[in-house]
């Protein structure tokens, strides 16, 4: 009995040992197989890509292009794009596929398979993988299909839009496949539009009519151009579109699209006018305070904007890895820099010239020249570019006829916030009460114990600081240069005079109305004549109403 029990224990130990060996063998076998499989895939990738070197005929290259496109090679898009761009070469000696860019001493090359940088190779050591127009057509279709299969919606949408701009029959299969799998509404709309653009060249009348009908409501500029071309006549007087039914359908759809496009064009002009008005508001609101409270014609106001713009540029130099946040830091920094410079100018020069407006104008004009030259000496006379944050880039696309750029949308909102904060400061704070008292009657305010000199310095600094904030906004629309402020100083004075000196609501109304008027006049008269017309209108208006639209009330104002 004891022998049997001992024998049974030994048998169980043996079986357990065999099972353990089996499991350990299975556990180590899988990584070995994986390594072999990875090695095999790498070798297959090299063989597949290197077949491009030996392929001679166009049909062979087309087959290889399709094989590469349908493979899971990580470098497939790079290879096909390089082949399309003419940057795919191979080394004659090693017969190794490389990316090559032209260099003064030959070609700077990088291997396709491993990504190794080979440095600069001589022109005779490499040879280009040749392609022709047929291959370029195939490559366009293949790359489009790869892009349409991307996991990124933005990539698929851009690919669909590219197909709309360059419709071709070889894309139709890729478009139809993508439509079956697509779930995003905007991508589906662009794909349907791309398919319609291709079907416009179909020999079947039904497909062409369906394509034309599918354009209703799209407002795509490329679609409207094609429909307009279908109404043209050749040198013999005959319509280029010889099917009368198709031509009439195209004319009806085009008329409807143009009517809708005019409405959206009106909205777009209004938007651009409001964005220009917002810039004018930011540049003029500080001048309205300075001119209204102090009666000083500050010709250096534009240079305060310039200082704000250069502050934004310097902040970006100090925060190169945080561009998206640099503009948020630049707003208070620009306000402080321009405001302090304004206080120095008021305390050093302007306070000695009160009551002498002509001398004040000449003095501030001299200050503006000094500041411009100082900036040229420090930053050079060349314009500097300020990088826009990612959240200010791009546009909000409503449809094919209307898109609103994010930077202008933010500037409109920003100018309104600045205006509301300024109104709050003037209406709800003690400092604002003192400013309004000095505006109403300087002598009475002085007799009531208000330190008018201190109020003047603070007011001038506030107006200059707001001009610095305007410079931050302008840096997102144009390059930063020493003459930045000169482009807006005349417009700022026009806004202040037209709206009513010292009246913030009048400044807001004048800025917005002049901005919209400029944008609506530009298509008919051009940018220069539009400004001239606005200037003539303001001159005539001031002759009729010298105090502007919304004049301030008070004893000193009446005097």
Q: State yes or no: pLDDT of 143 exceeds 90.
A: no
Most confident of 46-50, 129-133, 178-182, 414-418: 414-418
Q: State yes or no: pLDDT of 10 exceeds 50.
A: no
pLDDT grade, residue 2 (50/70/90)?
Answer: very low
Query: For 21-74, what is each residue's pLDDT tens digit?
Result: 444 444 433 333 333 434 434 456 667 777 888 888 888 888 888 888 877 777
Q: State yes or no: pLDDT of 76 exceeds 90.
A: no
Query: For 435-458, what is each residue's pLDDT tens digit?
Result: 778 777 777 877 877 887 788 888
3-state class of 546 per DSSP?
coil
Tokens standing for 100? 């090559």
Torsion angle, alpha carbons of 485, 486, 491, 497, to 10 = 90
Q: What is the CB-side half-sphere exposure of residue 353 using CA atoms within 13 A? A: 19
Decide: 145 and 177 in contact? Cβ < 8 Å.
yes
User: Of 187-191, 192-196, 234-238, 443-447, where does mean pLDDT reach its minimum?
Assistant: 234-238
Q: What is the DSSP letter of 404?
A: E
Q: State yes or no: pLDDT of 235 exceeds 70.
A: no
pLDDT computed for residue 25 by the predictor: 41
Through-space distance between the first and last CA atoms of the chain, rounded to whole angstroms: 130
Number of Cβ atoms within 10 Å of the Cβ of 307 = 27
Q: What is the DSSP letter of 241?
A: S
Q: Which residue has the higher pLDDT, 16 or 85?
A: 85
Rg (CA), the chain: 35
pLDDT grade, residue 553 (50/70/90)?
Answer: low
pLDDT computed for residue 523 by the predictor: 73
Query: For 512-542, what is each residue's pLDDT tens digit?
Result: 888 888 888 877 777 677 777 777 887 787 7
Partners of 99 in beta bridges: 88, 110
Q: Which residue has the higher pLDDT, 392 or 2?
A: 392
Closest among 192, 191, 228, 233 to 210, alpha carbons compared: 192
Decide: 113 and 97 in contact? Cβ < 8 Å.
yes
Please state the separation of Cα 103 from the chain's center in Å: 32
Number of Cβ atoms within 10 Å of the Cβ of 141 = 22
Q: State yes or no: pLDDT of 554 exceeds 60.
A: no
Q: Which residue has the higher pLDDT, 385 or 439?
A: 385
Report DSSP letters for 111-129, one per residue.
ETTT--EEEEE-TTTEEE-
Mean pLDDT of the chain: 79
Q: State yes or no: pLDDT of 555 exceeds 50.
A: no
pLDDT computed for residue 416 by the predictor: 92
pLDDT grade, residue 331 (50/70/90)?
Answer: very high
pLDDT grade, residue 293 (50/70/90)?
Answer: low
pLDDT computed for residue 70 by the predictor: 79
Report DSSP letters for 342-405, one per residue.
HHHHHHHTGGGSTT-HHHHHHHHHHHHHHHHHHHHHHH-SS-B--PPPGGGSSEEEEETTEEEE
Distance between CA atoms of residues 357 and 364, nearest Å: 10
Please state the separation of Cα 431 from the chain's center in Å: 40
pLDDT computed for residue 292 by the predictor: 64
pLDDT computed for residue 441 by the predictor: 74
Name 499's Cβ contacts closer than 8 Å, sequence gap at least 6: 284, 288, 505, 506, 507, 508, 509, 510, 511, 548, 549, 550
Decide: 249 and 212 in contact? Cβ < 8 Å.
yes
Q: Span 117-140, mean pLDDT?
A: 85
Q: What is the DSSP letter of 477?
A: T
Tokens standing for 332? 């208070």
Q: Span 369-378, mean pLDDT?
A: 91
Closest among 291, 307, 372, 294 to 340, alpha carbons compared: 307
Largest CA distance in the chain: 130
Helix and strand totals (H; E) in the chain: 21, 7
Q: Span 301-325, mean pLDDT?
A: 89
Tokens standing for 67? 């094989």
Tokens standing for 343? 């206080």
Q: The dihedral of CA 8, 13, 18, 23: what is its sign?
A: positive
Tokens standing for 77? 């898009």
Distance between CA atoms of residues 272 and 400, nearest Å: 17
Q: What is the DSSP letter of 349?
A: T
Report DSSP letters for 310-334, one per residue.
HHHHHHHHH-TT-HHHHHHHHHHHH
Decide: 220 and 193 in contact? Cβ < 8 Å.
yes
pLDDT computed for residue 11 by the predictor: 42
Closest among 527, 403, 417 to 472, alpha carbons compared: 417
Q: State yes or no: pLDDT of 13 exceeds 50.
A: no
Distance between CA atoms of residues 118 and 292, nearest Å: 69
Distance between CA atoms of residues 282 and 415, nearest Å: 6
Q: Which residue has the higher pLDDT, 473 or 33?
A: 473
Q: What is the DSSP letter of 171?
A: G
Query: For 205-225, what is each residue's pLDDT tens digit?
Result: 888 888 888 888 788 777 888
Distance between CA atoms of residues 229 and 240, nearest Å: 8
- Does the reported pTM lie above 0.95? no
Decide: 301 and 285 in contact? Cβ < 8 Å.
no
Distance between CA atoms of residues 530 and 106, nearest Å: 53
Domains and CATH numbers, the chain: 38-131 (no CATH), 151-242 (no CATH), 271-389+405-558 (1.10.3470)
Q: State yes or no: pLDDT of 483 exceeds 80.
A: yes
Decide: 151 and 104 in contact? Cβ < 8 Å.
no
Distance between CA atoms of residues 311 and 371, nearest Å: 14
Decide: 80 and 142 in contact? Cβ < 8 Å.
yes
Please state the separation of Cα 240 from the chain's center in Å: 39
Q: State yes or no: pLDDT of 114 exceeds 70.
A: yes
Name 375's Cβ contacts closer than 8 Å, sequence gap at least 6: 306, 307, 310, 482
pLDDT computed for residue 240 by the predictor: 63
Q: State yes or no: pLDDT of 295 exceeds 90.
A: no
Q: State yes or no: pLDDT of 333 exceeds 90.
A: yes
User: Of 30-44, 116-130, 240-254, where does mean pLDDT reach its minimum?
Assistant: 30-44
Closest among 487, 428, 439, 498 to 463, alpha carbons compared: 439
pLDDT computed for residue 308 by the predictor: 92
């Amino acid at each position: 009995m004891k022998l049997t029990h001992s024998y049974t224990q030994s048998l169980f130990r043996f079986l357990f040992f065999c099972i353990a060996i089996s499991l350990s063998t299975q556990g180590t076998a899988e990584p070995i197989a994986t390594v072999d499989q990875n090695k095999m895939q790498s070798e297959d990738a090299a063989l597949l890509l290197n077949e491009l070197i030996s392929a001679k005929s166009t049909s062979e290259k087309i087959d290889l292009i399709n094989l590469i496109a349908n493979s899971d090679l990580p470098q497939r898009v790079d290879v096909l794009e390089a082949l399309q761009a003419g940057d795919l070469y191979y080394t004659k000696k090693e017969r190794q596929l490389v990316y090559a860019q032209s260099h003064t001493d030959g070609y700077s090359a990088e291997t396709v398979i491993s990504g190794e940088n080979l440095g600069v190779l001589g022109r005779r050591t490499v040879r280009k993988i040749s392609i022709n127009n047929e291959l370029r057509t195939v490559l366009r279709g293949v790359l489009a299909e790869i892009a349409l299969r991307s996991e990124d919606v933005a990539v698929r949408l851009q690919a669909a839009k590219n197909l709309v701009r360059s419709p071709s029959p070889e894309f139709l299969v890729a478009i139809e496949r993508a439509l079956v799998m697509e779930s995003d509404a905007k991508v589906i709309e662009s794909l349907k539009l791309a398919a319609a653009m291709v079907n416009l060249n179909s020999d079947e009348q039904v497909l062409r009519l369906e394509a034309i009908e599918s354009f209703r409501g799209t407002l795509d500029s490329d679609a409207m151009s094609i429909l307009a071309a279908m109404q043209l006549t050749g040198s013999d007087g005959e319509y280029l579109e010889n099917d009368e039914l198709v031509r009439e359908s195209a004319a009806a759809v085009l008329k409807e699209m143009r009517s809708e496009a005019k409405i959206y064009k009106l909205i777009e002009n209004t938007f651009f006018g409001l964005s220009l008005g917002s810039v004018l508001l930011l540049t003029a609101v500080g001048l309205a305070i300075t001119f209204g409270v102090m009666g000083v014609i500050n010709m250096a106001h534009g240079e305060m904007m310039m200082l704000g713009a250069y502050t934004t540029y310097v902040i970006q130099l100090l925060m190169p890895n945080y561009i998206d946040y640099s503009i948020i830091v630049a707003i208070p920094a620009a306000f402080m820099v321009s405001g302090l410079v304004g206080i120095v100018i008021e305390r050093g020069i302007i306070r000695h010239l009160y009551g002498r407006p002509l001398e004040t104008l000449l003095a501030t004009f001299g200050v503006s020249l000094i500041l411009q030259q100082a900036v040229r000496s420090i930053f050079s006379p060349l314009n500097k570019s300020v990088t826009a944050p990612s959240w200010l880039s791009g546009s909000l696309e409503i449809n094919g006829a209307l898109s609103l750029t994010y930077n202008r949308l933010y500037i409109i909102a920003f100018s309104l916030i600045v205006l509301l904060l300024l109104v709050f400061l003037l209406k709800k704070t003690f400092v604002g009460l003192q400013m309004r008292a000095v505006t109403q009657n300087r002598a009475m305010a002085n007799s009531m114990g208000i330190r008018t000199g201190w109020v003047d310095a603070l007011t001038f600094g506030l107006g200059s600081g707001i001009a610095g904030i305007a410079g931050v906004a302008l840096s997102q629309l144009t390059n930063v240069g020493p003459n930045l402020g000169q482009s807006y100083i005349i417009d700022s004075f026009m806004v202040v005079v037209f709206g009513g000196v010292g009246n913030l609501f009048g400044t807001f109304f004048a800025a917005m109305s002049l901005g919209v008027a400029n944008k609506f006049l530009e298509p008919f008269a051009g940018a220069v004549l539009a400004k001239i017309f606005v200037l003539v209108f303001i001159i005539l208006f001031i002759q009729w109403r010298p105090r502007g639209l919304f004049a301030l009330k008070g004893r000193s104002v009446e005097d």
